[in-house]
Structure 1
Amino acid sequence: MITLTPTLEAAQQAPSGRPDVRLRVLDQDLGATRLRWERWYEAAAVDGPARVVVLDDGTVVRARIWPASGILYTSRTTDPDEQSAWGSWTELDDQVSTTPALAMAALGDRVLVATVRDDNAAIVLHESSDGGATFPSTITVTGTISAVTGLAVAYHHDESDGTASLFYAQGGEVLVRGRTGTGLFGSATAWSRDLTSINALAARSQGDIEVLVSGVDPDGNAGCWSVAYGIGNAVNAGTWTALEPVALASPGTDVTYLANSWAFASRARASLVETYAGAGAYNRVQLATAASGAAFTAGGWRDPRPFDHESPYGLGIGAGGPAAADLYLVAPGGVWHATNDPDPQDLSTQLVTLDLLQEEEAGGVLRATLTAGPGGIAGGTPATLAPGAELAFDPGFVTTAGQEWATGRRYWITAIRRSRTRDGRALVEVEAHDALRRLFAWRAPRQLEWPGSALTSSALAILQDICARAGFDLLATDASDLSGDYQPAFTVRGGEGGRAAVLRLLERIPDQLHSRGSVLRLEEPDPLAVATYAYGMSHGIIECSVEDHAPGTGWARIFGDAVYAETFDYDALAQGAPPLIALDLNLDAAGKAQDRADTAIRIGRLDIIRATLLAPVNVGQEVGDVVTVTDPTLGLDAQPYRVRALRLRFHRGPGSPRYDMALQLGEV
């Protein structure tokens, strides 16, 4: 249950509570600002690698390599807009390798551009201390350098004296050299990770130094991974975190990936290239976004999405400017711009009706009707009110402390309908789904496999992986032990929906999946849980009924790998509950099979509706909460139930106003 202030709780229990409902739209997708890319510049140009950095004042500094001639160019644009002279370039170096590698970094007024020399035996860095206006300093790094296949450089974000780290790949190894201030780069040290080959690197210092690396792993999977190199912040200095996949392709698929660059704008955003060498070959630029709540290296990357540009070199990405509000994608002949603007627009005064239905194992659907046109949303509807945008719904009351709401609920628009009524009113009807429904709507872009018999293949780990791919963080503070102990061999077929995949796992463990905002929670229902709210005493009940149904399972029979277990619910059998038979070869011990049988009986009882009630709105109520109900007429005296479904309805008018809530209740 969402925590309420004492004044808000008192207001919702008062007989004459005054509703106050807030509805806002945010141009966000699962907590990440939706980037509306506009192409500011387009020209015919020789393709090649391009990179971009954005300074604090908004100045854009770009670099590009002309591969055939081995020439490095830079460009600096102040006060950028779509009318700027984006086609203006200045030659910086004419001795660059024709198998080009290019990297950029910026901090304050410092800018670094790194390339490989034309003899492939040295890395050359050009440095500016005036925001890219000039590059008077040239640094040549030699020794143990040959056949460089990936290059990255990053200033340490918490140092303003020029301290930086240089990364380069040779074969399947990443080497790093560091410098203090503007001194010389030191000797190379090798990373502690294992890839067979590496074709690109990208780095930026957001906390420690976060690195994208692409290539092929020892199992033959082509992919792009995120990893952090410690500089003493969250990661110990000189150490590497584990490789976490951003995108992977199985051996034999003719698919490879190229890590281009990454930037931070409300979330980590990575630019990469997916190359397919089979029939219908392509070099497709893709953009990947870190999942909600996930750190760069926490394995929380949403499935990459294609961008409307093809190039084997990809697009450089950079973010910065005042309040880090501007993002750019660049190619030699192109510049795209987007704004990171997370500010919400308040729709509360235009809200006419709202109907929220939240169900266990189905998720939530919010439907709202808004006035539009004169007296409604100015000029019709805001551009942000469109499919994919985020709605923040905060039910509340006017209290003795003023306007108060229960905050945290988020929904994502799936449909917009505009209409005119008989009396000439213009209305906008909005439908939006919660995080659980968004997860269920996700589809696997390719076959996903977990081998089993490992912590990384536990039911919990698989669910966390699927949630991250769909864009969500999964909290497991109250998850069952079985969710971690059960480690099945599990496959999600390409094109399989999230609902089918998730429910296949949930039927094997005693946990339930709930959502609040862009965070999902895996929780084991505790039969001894203490109620978080009471109905029938301080909080009145309008209507109430109790029901009696047979549970879903009376006899659970589980067949594993040479093991068998069963559990009986004799009361359920007497009521006509059917048996359940399951075959699961992941169960190789009697104890595991018994846990599965007990889980089946428990789920069969939790799924049954035992009572329903209609009451004034409890703005903090959520599905999965335990409550008590007191109703002398029905013989209920603080009877505990678990909320299985919730329907909240608000109607401002015309006609009779409404602000109430219906609950479906099951066993604890």
Structure 2
Amino acid sequence: MQTLSATLVAAQKSRSLVPYVKVETWDETARVKILSWSRWYTGTEADSPHAAWVSGDGSLIRARATGGKLYVQRVANPTAESDYSAWIELAVGIHASSPVALCGVGSIVALFYVDAAGTGVKYRASGENGASWTDEVAAGVAGGTVSQLAAVSRDASNLVVFLSVGGTVSSLTYADGWGAVTAWTNVVKTVTGLAAFYGGDYNLVVTGTDTTDSCHVWTTIFGDNYSYAVGDWGPLVDVVTASAGTGVEYHQPAVGFPDVYRLWYLEKYTGTVAYSRPYWSHGIRGAADYASNVWREPVPFDLSSTRGLSMAYSSPSAEGQVFVTASSGVWRAALSSTVHDLTGDVLELNLHEGERAGRAVVTLRNDDGRYNAGGSFAEGLGKGWQLEVSLGARTTEGNETGTARLFWIQSWRRSCEARRAVIVLEAVDAWGLLELWRARRHLSWTAGSMTRFQLLQAVVGFVGLELASIGSLSSEMSADQPAFAIAPGESGATAVRRLLDQVPEVLFWRQATGYVKSVSASDSASYAYGTDHVIYRGEAMEEAYRVNRVQVFGAGTYGEEQTWDEIAGVGDRLTQVVDLNLNTADRVNGRAAAVKRKWELAATPTMLVTPVSCGVELYDVVTVTESRLGLSTAKRRVRGYTVRYARSSTQRGPERRGLWEMDLVLGGA
């Protein structure tokens, strides 16, 4: 249950309560800003290796290499009206396919490229935000032709250049002088792109192929004593994979942390109706560090390109903007989220949260056309935007609410009749986002690679959601590492349900985070209905268990659970589970107990209609006292609720009392 102030708890129990519903829209998905890109420049430059950087004074610096020449551009105070077509020729006689990389700290900027031989890494520096550049300086020499470059500054005295020769990535470190070119410890066949930024360690994205010719977008880390020791390499972790022979390749990534972890890469398809376009992804808002980050399902960007995009932003992002660039293009997006308060226009609310689905339907006044095109509030709505609904009441301290409940707008419709004109927003909860996600390809995890908690974390991460836990978890959730697969076209919701069916834990959502927790008959009640909190009406059922016997068949093992008194009365109501991941007696018996426990939670269904409890959450344990139902401090567990609010048409202001009630669906505790 949400934590509410004492004054709000008192108000929601009062028979003279005045409800308060706060509704806001945010241009975010799962607490992450939806970037709205504006193209500021469309040029005629050929697609070629390029890089971008925002220096300490906010200047946008771009570099490109083409025809054996190196060009650079500095645009101070970049705007949509700035000139992005003027380039300065900085070097000639460089390698015909030289990659380029930019990095910096404050007013210091360094530009790296490859000499005519293809093996020497050269650089030029600027101490004036790119306004002028030093002569060429040698950084190091590789053992073969350098195909990819990335550069990262930790501070003004320490930086690392990452370079690739064939399938080997090497580091070239500067700390009061250049060190040796040192190969990494990972093994791949080819490297088709490198990108890096600093965040405690040197965090990288690598594109290329493995030894079986499958194509990958990987993340990895070059340690600086945060997640890994100085100079140690982390493993390659897949973001996206394409099997050999599919015609899909990945190239030219970009990565950084303008507000959350964000990455770009180029996807090429060489089959019939070939294409080559950038894709983007971002991490979850609550990611603790790069090593534990989970990436959203990548999304295509409307551009045909052979060299991908570079990303540049100030650090920290004081200007609140981020750029992506190509040799012939500059795009800009604001990083600050926009919030619109719709509270004053709310006429009705229907909010539902269930164990496997949730929704919010909000009816707003539109009598003056404020939500029509060109209306004063038209910019407050966006498809996919976050809808935040907070339930509350007027208290002695003013209007107070519980924590906002998050939904995501899928549609709106305008309607009118007689003197009434409204707009109705329909939004889904986290389960709805998961239901709308479909696997693009076959996804599989081998036994021994991830726990069920980590698998759940990966699946909910596909739609940008976070996963956390409350209390201790079962070994089935936190220790077992089963084989698992998601078929093409399968929804994220189905995949999550299949994983939850294998464990005793339950899952509920609090804002953009899913929480898994164990439920026990010994859990204490957190709220009481029927004493201070009135019950309008209700039903209490006693029914036979729909399942009273469970059989589980594993790999050469068998386990079962049963409820003998139920079997004696209604006979054997059997469910069977076959899971070859279960290879010990403890594991099959644990699964049987988990299945039995979940059927017990569905028993003794009780339905109540009460004034809204502003802090209610799924799986709260509550007590019910209602003599007419034969219940006295009976423990029950919340399995769903629906909130209904309507402002009276004869009263003014959304805070005036109208319809304000909640349907509670309760099960066994």
Say whether the fold is shared (TM-score over 0.5).
yes
Q: Deviations over 1:439-492 (max 9, x none)?
A: 22211111101111x1x3332222121112221111134432212344332211
CA contact (8 A) 1:319 1:326 kept: yes
Are the structure 2 counterparts of residues 337 and 384 from structure 1 closer, same or farther at C-alpha, using a change threshold of 3 Å?
farther
AA matched with 1:554 = N
Q: CA–CA distance in 2 between the matches of 1:25 and 1:134?
A: 45
The structural deviation recorded for 1:57 is 4.1
Of 402, 405, 408, the match for 2:401: 405
Q: Which residue of 2 aligns with 1:512?
A: 506
CA distance in 2, matches of 1:505, 1:368: 32
Deviation readout 1:112-157 (Å, 9 max, x if unpaired): 211111211211112111111111253212234422232111111x
- Give the drift of 1:233: 4.3
Give the AA of the match of 1:440.
Answer: E
Q: Give the drift of 1:23.
A: 0.8
Compute the TM-score of the two structures, normalised by the length of structure 1: 0.94
Identity %: 31
Q: Cα offset for 1:85?
A: 1.1
TM-score by length of 2: 0.93
CA distance in 1, matches of 2:376, 2:574: 56
Q: Within 1, Cα distance between the matches of 2:367 and 2:58?
A: 37
1:164 — aligned with what? Answer: 159
Paired letter, 1:237: V
2:296 to 302, 307, 310: 302
CA distance in 2, matches of 1:609, 1:244: 46
Q: Which runs of 5+ in 1 are unaligned?
A: none
Are positions 1:140 and 2:129 aligned together? no
Q: Which residue matches 1:336?
A: 331
Aligned equivalents of 1:305 and 1:137: distance in 2? 41
Letter in 2 for 1:192: T
The 1:350/1:207 distance shift into structure 2, 3 A limit, reads farther
Contact 2:140 2:181 in 1 (8 A): no
Partner residue of 1:107 out of 105, 116, 122: 105
Cα deviation, 1:523-574, whole Å, max 9, x if unaligned, reads 2222211111111222222222211222231121222222222221223332
Q: Residues of 1 paired with 2:202 and 2:400: CA distance?
A: 42
What residue is the counterpart of 2:86 in the other structure?
88
Match of 2:41 in 1: 41
Query: What corresponds to 1:130 in structure 2?
Result: 128
Report the residue type matching 1:654 in the other structure: S
Q: 1:396 aligns with which of 369, 379, 392?
A: 392
Q: Does 1:74 align with 2:60?
A: no
Separation of aligned partners in 1, 2:481 and 2:160:
40
Cα pair 2:140 2:172 within 8 Å, conserved: no
Q: Which amino acid aligns with 1:663?
A: L
* CA distance in 2: counterparts of 1:647 and 1:18, whole angstroms: 19
Shift of 1:234: 5.1
Equivalent residues, number: 657
The one-character-per-residue Cα deviations of 1:489-548 (angstroms, maximum 9, x if unpaired) are: 221111211122222222222122211111111222222111111112222222222112
- 1:447-466 maps to which residues of 2 (within 5 A)? 447-452=442-447, 454=448, 456-466=449-459
Indicate the SS of the match to 1:572. Answer: helix
CA–CA distance in structure 2, aligned partners of residues 440 and 609 of structure 1: 29
Please say which of residues 476-485 and 597-606 is displaced more in the overlay: 476-485
The one-character-per-residue Cα deviations of 1:18-42 (angstroms, maximum 9, x if unpaired) are 2222111111122111111121111
* 1:278 aligned partner: 271
Aligned counterpart, 1:184? 177
Q: Secondary structure at the match of 1:595?
A: helix
Deviations 1:243-275 (A, max 9, x none): 322211123322221142123232211110112
1:341-356 matched pairs, under 5 angstroms: 341-356=336-351
Output one character per residue of 1:407-447: Cα deviation in whole Å (capped at 9) or x when no partner. Answer: 14211111111223321x43211011111221222111111
Higher mean alpha-carbon deviation, 123-132 vs 592-601, is at 592-601
Return the match for 1:527 from 518, 521, 524: 521
Does residue 662 of structure 2 align to residue 661 of structure 1?
yes
- 1:582 aligns with 577
What letter corresponds to residue 223 of structure 1 in structure 2? H
SS of 2:196's equivalent?
strand
Partner of 1:605: 600
| 1:246–1:288 Cα contact (<8 Å) kept | no
> In 2, are the aligned partners of 1:50 and 1:332 still within 8 Å (CA)?
yes
Pair 1:58 & 2:52 matched:
no
- Does residue 197 in structure 1 map to residue 190 in structure 2? yes
Give, in angstroms, the shift of residue 647 of structure 1: 0.7
Q: Deviations over 1:81-137 (max 9, x none)?
A: 222111111111112222231211132112121111121121111211111111125
> CA 1:194 to 1:179, structure 2 compared with 1: closer, same or farther past 3 Å?
same
Q: CA deviation at 1:384?
A: 4.4
Q: 1:318: how far off?
A: 1.4
Provide the residue aligned with 2:550 in structure 1: 556
Matched, 1:253 2:246: yes
CA distance 1:88–1:293, change in 2 (3 Å) = same
Q: Specify which of 371, 381, 405 is matched with residue 377 of structure 2.
A: 381
Per-residue deviation, 1:172: 3.0
Structure 1 residue 184, shift from structure 2 partner: 2.4
